[in-house]
Structure 1
Amino acid sequence: MQETTIAILGAGAWGTALGNLAVANGHRVLLWSRRGTKTLDAVLQEAQIVLSAISMKGVRDVASQIKSCPVSPETIFVTATKGLEPTTSATPSQIWQTTFPDNGVVVLSGPNLSAEIQKSLPAATVVASNNTTAAKKVQMVFSSPRFRVYTNPDPLGVELGGTLKNVMAIAAGVCDGLQLGTNAKAALVTRGLTEMVRIGNFLGAKTETFYGLSGLGDLLATCNSPLSRNYQVGYQMACGKTLTNILANLPGTAEGVNTCQVLMQLVKQQNIAMPITEQVYRLLQGDVTPQQALDELMLRDIKPEYH
């Protein structure tokens, strides 16, 4: 396809991995980070696609800065951030779409551990948007024999799949850290998916999206890999380390910690049953030990699997 100029915001592992995929496909990539020497103006000047791979806490600020830059209404914004804004519970794509209502906004999410993608190991992802043309354009830019890209018409569901699974990954890390075995892990991940669907439906996402790559796929990858930062938070807490110490030594951000806090605000306001999320929250707050959190889950009232 014709060469596309892509501005990637965030020069961390994920932004760099996505940039390398685009370069391998013959596209021009400009990287921007807060610590770099390039200005936003310079990076955005010719960009046809602006891909955000910055952490959740920086999304609104960067979006506001870009609003003062000359951006074409034809420019497509792609968000590869997984998280929820603490003050508003907004997703990254909602922030970008509100800031740029006339532009196409695409969510990119899936079982994509950046370290594996950097090694050219095969992977698949999902790009989702209300703008079908924008989604197909992004699909063409990033698709390759080692990176298969699917489109999806449910951007909220795709985005929430990648966000909510981070909380379950913390729980999975605890499960492995306590050496609870395969049966326990399978039960945890399955019931975790049920919680993801429940909160996702409440927020307006489609159920079927959570059984795709951006939901179940990402959940399996993140809950089963030591490469996952969120998994590492749970695993190391189960091994006796403090959350403060873990986060101080973690390479990058474990978005599940913040996401869990935002979810608990929603759970309390709307009275939604999220038992795994609640125990992860209590663990992160220091209210329970990993073993106590497990006991709380195992001793809940017995009930039908579907109700």
Structure 2
Amino acid sequence: MTKITIIGGGAWGNTLGYLLTRSNQKYQLWSRHQQESLTTITQDADIIISAVSMKGVREVIQQLGETNLKPDTIIVTATKGLDLETTHTPSQIWQTAFPHNPIVVLSGPNLAKEIQRGLPAATVVSSNHHPSAELVQSVFASDIFRVYINDDPIGTELGGTLKNVMAIASGVCDGLELGTNAKAALLTRALPEMIRVGVKLGARIDTFFGLSGLGDLLATCDSPLSRNYQVGFALAKGKTIPEILTILEGTAEGINTTKVLVKLAHNQNISVPITYQIYLLLEEKITPQIAVKNLMARELKEEF
């Protein structure tokens, strides 16, 4: 049996545990509230799955740094976000900390509450080390979870990360009751914005048309189960960010990602008009109505 440890006792960590159970895999789950040390529970692990929030990634790595992982221990990152200080993705941070271990990214249109109800879903596992991706694929695949493989981890990761910003925008669109035409236009223009960022950072275009890009974008931008969608919807109804965060279940990674993405886009000279309006909205510099007006008033241009 493969020895598996999940790090993170939140909704996503528990959902990944549920999926492992469905595929007849045994695992241990560690959260920061446990007395047992992380180094003890990950000792001799074949697969370590990180399901912590973006802000918890470096803390977990620091704790793991106190032990020596086996060189063939696979590290699976299931975190969707960007580091505020470095603008790096979780897999880049993990790879820097553990340069000799294979890193696998898991990302897709995977709303935790739907999976917990036993509803079917699909995802992508991506790595530069194909055998590691294949092993992770085999341990997660089950009757309700179809797992695909690709070899573009940065693209797979960015698809799942950048769509959280677009989910906030989508929530605003629905909260303002702008209609189906506006929603279709928003999501259609959101994808090339994600692609521009991804390609600049070394991702492949075709990855964004797969499950971790377009698939995750559609799921997150059209479901009240998405925390990022909930943020946008509440903003459109006049709530402030502090008010929203007090009632939100879990972390809406899109809030932090928006700030990092604006910084990254400025440094790399990338056009991110949707992201920039969401940034101004989150910073309370404009209203949702003005954000829409600003997007509609942009300079006319060719579609492609």
What's the TM-score bracket when you normalise by the shorter of the two chains? over 0.9
Question: Per the alignment, in what secondary structure is the counterpart of residue 100 of structure 2?
Answer: coil
Q: CA deviation at 1:70?
A: 3.0
1:123 and 1:148 map into 2 onto residues whose CA distance is 6
Match of 2:61 among 60, 63, 66: 63
Offset from partner CA, 1:46-105 (integer Å, 9 cap, x none): 321000000001101211210211311111000000000000001000011111111110
Match of 2:290 among 274, 289, 292: 292
Aligned length: 304
The aligned counterpart of 1:27 is 25
Q: CA deviation at 1:236?
A: 0.3
1:195-274 pair list within 5 angstroms: 195-274=193-272
Match of 2:184 among 183, 186, 195: 186
2:62 and 2:130 map into 1 onto residues whose CA distance is 25
Offset from partner CA, 1:7-61 (integer Å, 9 cap, x none): 1000111110111111222222111111123211221023210000000011012
1:165-180 pair list within 5 angstroms: 165-180=163-178
Seen in structure 2, the aligned counterparts of structure 1 residues 46 and 24 have a Cα distance that, compared at 3 Å, is: farther
Give the residue type in structure 2 aligned to 1:238: A
| Residue 141 of structure 2 corresponds to residue 143 of structure 1 | yes
Offset from partner CA, 1:224-277 (integer Å, 9 cap, x none): 000000000000000111011101221110000000000111122222111000
Question: Per the alignment, in what secondary structure is the counterpart of residue 303 of structure 2?
Answer: coil
1:171 and 1:15 map into 2 onto residues whose CA distance is 26
Deviates more, 1:152-161 or 1:24-33: 24-33
2:228 and 2:55 map into 1 onto residues whose CA distance is 16
Give the residue type in structure 1 aligned to 2:6: I
2:72 and 2:197 map into 1 onto residues whose CA distance is 33
Per the normalisation by structure 2, the TM-score is: 0.99
The aligned counterpart of 2:6 is 8
Instruction: Please tell me whether the aligned partners of residues 44 and 69 of structure 2 are also in contact (alpha carbons under 8 angstroms).
Output: no
2:217 and 2:186 map into 1 onto residues whose CA distance is 11
RMSD of the TM alignment (CA)? Answer: 0.8
After the TM superposition, which segments of 4 or more aligned residues of structure 1 sit over 4 Å from their partners?
Answer: none
1:4 and 1:268 map into 2 onto residues whose CA distance is 44
Deviates more, 1:45-54 or 1:284-293: 45-54
Match of 2:99 among 101, 111, 134: 101
1:70 and 1:302 map into 2 onto residues whose CA distance is 56
| Residue 279 of structure 2 corresponds to residue 281 of structure 1 | yes
Give the residue type in structure 2 aligned to 1:246: I
1:158 and 1:20 map into 2 onto residues whose CA distance is 23
Deviates more, 1:25-34 or 1:76-85: 25-34
Specify every segment of 5 or more residues in structure 2 that has no aligned partner in the other structure, as ranges: none
Q: CA deviation at 1:5?
A: 1.6
Give the residue type in structure 2 aligned to 1:84: L
1:123 and 1:173 map into 2 onto residues whose CA distance is 22
1:233 and 1:24 map into 2 onto residues whose CA distance is 32
Question: Per the alignment, in what secondary structure is the counterpart of residue 103 of structure 1?
Answer: coil
Instruction: Please tell me whether the aligned partners of residues 78 and 107 of structure 2 are also in contact (alpha carbons under 8 angstroms).
Output: yes
Give the residue type in structure 2 aligned to 1:144: S
The aligned counterpart of 1:118 is 116
Percent sequence identity is 60
Question: Per the alignment, in what secondary structure is the counterpart of residue 282 of structure 1?
Answer: helix
